[in-house]
Chain A
Amino acid sequence: GENVEQHPSTLSVQEGDSAVIKCTYSDSASNYFPWYKQELGKRPQLIIDIRSNVGEKKDQRIAVTLNKTAKHFSLHITETQPEDSAVYFCAAPWKAAGNKLTFGGGTRVLVKP
């Protein structure tokens, strides 16, 4: 969607290293930012989300940070494992499009053992 840009499009990391994916959005009214993980041939599944009243949220090895001033949010995966290999999508609501949830283009993460 035009509201959300996601970088990088591909990311290769060594097992045990950290991975960071960044998304920027254009609608300053956006207030909800989910991240979805999609394994090869599977459906997307929510892994973490953050609302605009907090700056950071953690769940074990994954965390999301939000900078509302700069209009970007990031997914951080620490101590990466081979099972983290997947495509990750960020999303944000876009009021100009009727408050619909729009997705970034995705980041393909490959964790090398």
Chain B
Amino acid sequence: NAGVTQTPKFQVLKTGQSMTLQCAQDMNHEYMSWYRQDPGMGLRLIHYSVGAGITDQGEVPNGYNVSRSTTEDFPLRLLSAAPSQTSVYFCASNTLGPLTSPLHFGNGTRLTVT
């Protein structure tokens, strides 16, 4: 099993550009989520999904969109990139939600917005 796969690993954007961070899991997990990691601030939840067709906002959703058309895929879209979105982004998945089983993280995407 590949687990949770994120692409790309690195990305540089200019302010105002849009892009999609890809996330796929092959463990048939119902729950998927996106976090951003900034120095000294831990991992902050952006958006999450409890199943195909269902998404909800996390702590820091502004500037990001998500969709969940299949169980496997959970892409994160940056609508108009801003320097404040420079961060490392992690996708995670687990079964039964984050409160009852471990989160499986992808390898992360390091995004720089200039």
Contacts and interface: CB of A to CB of B under 8 A. Distances in A.
B105 A101 contact: no
Given A89-B42, A103-B42, A105-B40, A43 B106 contact: yes
Interface string A39-67: 00011111001000000000000000000
Contacts of A99: 99
Count chain B CB atoms within 10 A of each CB in A44, A89, A91, A99 and give the residue with the most: A44
Interface residues of B, number: 21
A93 B56 contact: no
A98 B58 CA distance: 8
B41 A43 contact: no
Interface residues of A, number: 27
Q: For the complex, would chain B's binding face be called helix, strand, loop or mixed by DSSP majority? A: loop
A4 to B, nearest CB: 8
Contact of B43 (A42, A97, A103): A103
Interface in B28-75: 35, 40-45, 48, 56, 58-59
Contacts of A104: 42
Q: For the complex, would chain A's binding face be called helix, strand, loop or mixed by DSSP majority? A: strand
Given A98-B56, A100-B58, A49 B102 contact: yes
A26 interface: no
Contacts of A32: 99-100
Contacts of B44: 1, 103
B43 A89 contact: yes
Interface string A84-113: 000001010100011111111110000000
Contacts of B48: 100
Interface of B: 35, 40-45, 48, 56, 58-59, 90, 98-100, 102-103, 105-108
